[in-house]
Amino acid sequence: MMMLRATLFALALLSASAFKFVSQTFKGEHTDNNHGPATTHTVEIGLDMESVKLRSNHHMVNKIGETNMSFESKVSMIFDAEAKRVTTCHEIEIAAASPSPAPQCMYSEFPSLPAPAVVAKCLQDFVADAESTTSEDGLQKFQVPALAIPLEPYRAEAFVSTDDLFVMKKIVANLSSRGSTDVNSKTFRPDMTFHPEMTDVNSKAGAPDSSMFVVPTEWGTCTKMNPVFHGMDDINPVMRAFSHCIDGNHFFLCRFRSIVSALATKCLYISSETV
């Protein structure tokens, strides 16, 4: 009987639908084993796969040491494939500090970005190899790509749990950094592990209202920067996919990899202007 159950489970995994991005709204909590008990962190993700737009909002409140002071930080980002633009805003407010710093709004433009439909395909291709692992609490669970940072020796795993419509309910990452010793400076960095999670059991399918992707007037005047990708350690796989498909530096690296390792098919969506 146990063998039969194991066989049926394996067949279920093989027949499971491949993971894909769908339009949705996700509003939930972000937890991290490196944040103290005084930290609250919420996250909002709005994704429209038809217009190929993404909005990400992070809101964190933390207490400063043993004092009664606290700071509030908000980081937002809007990816707009049609406008070929990425806009980000960072606001920070420190209790008892007056006045609070003005919001810092920055943007980057990508004139060589392909049409939104091509970018949408790139996003889906990014997670095309996501592996179906297990089923938990009636949800599908997939292991999705985790972008590696070659300059930092660490291991990364990322998992997404979705309903039958591929609406994300939980995002989990397991990150570990290997310790090192610098003999010259006599410094030691210990091994470190990180386990961030994002959860919204009430996330819903469907594109958010279009106003969500309009740069708010309260962000003030936005300064052009290149690049503008702040917070790319975000475990949100949609954020990583947009970064993968929009960042001009990625396009260059992808083209380089295609030359040295015959992976040209991964770069077909890049326009000739980009490379």
For the chain, percent of residues with pLDDT exceeding 90: 41
- pLDDT bin (cut points 50, 70, 90) of residue 72 is confident
> Whose CA is closest to 145, among 163, 161, 162, 126?
126
Does position 251 have pLDDT exceeding 70, yes or no? no
- pLDDT bin (cut points 50, 70, 90) of residue 125 is very high
pLDDT at 257 (0 to 100) = 33
User: What does DSSP assign to residue 221?
Assistant: S
Residue 219's contacts (CB-CB under 8 Å, 6 or more residues apart) are 76, 87, 89, 103, 105
pLDDT at 69 (0 to 100) = 73
Average pLDDT over residues 22-42: 83
- The chain-wide mean pLDDT, for the chain, equals 77
pLDDT at 228 (0 to 100) = 58
Q: Report how far residue 14's alpha carbon sits from residue 198's, in angstroms, rounded to the nearest whole number.
A: 27
**CATH class of the 2-267 domain in this structure:** mainly beta
> For residue range 98-124, what is the model confidence (pLDDT) as tens digits?
677 788 999 999 999 999 999 999 999
For the chain, percent of residues with pLDDT exceeding 70: 67
For the chain, what are the domain ranges?
2-267
Does position 135 have pLDDT exceeding 50, yes or no? yes
In what helix (H) or strand (E) does residue 261 lie, and over which residues does it extend?
helix 248-261
Does position 268 have pLDDT exceeding 60, yes or no? no
pLDDT at 58 (0 to 100) = 93
> For residue range 206-221, what is the model confidence (pLDDT) as tens digits?
999 999 999 999 999 9
What are the beta bridge partners of residue 180?
Answer: 189
Provide the total of helices (H) and of strands (E) in the chain, helices listed first. Answer: 4, 16
pLDDT at 92 (0 to 100) = 86
> For residue range 152-192, what is the model confidence (pLDDT) as tens digits?
556 778 899 999 999 999 999 887 776 666 666 666 666 77
Does position 46 have pLDDT exceeding 90, yes or no? yes
pLDDT at 262 (0 to 100) = 30
Q: What angle, rounded to 10 degrees, do the helices at 248-261 and 237-246 form?
A: 80
Does position 148 have pLDDT exceeding 60, yes or no? no
pLDDT at 88 (0 to 100) = 92
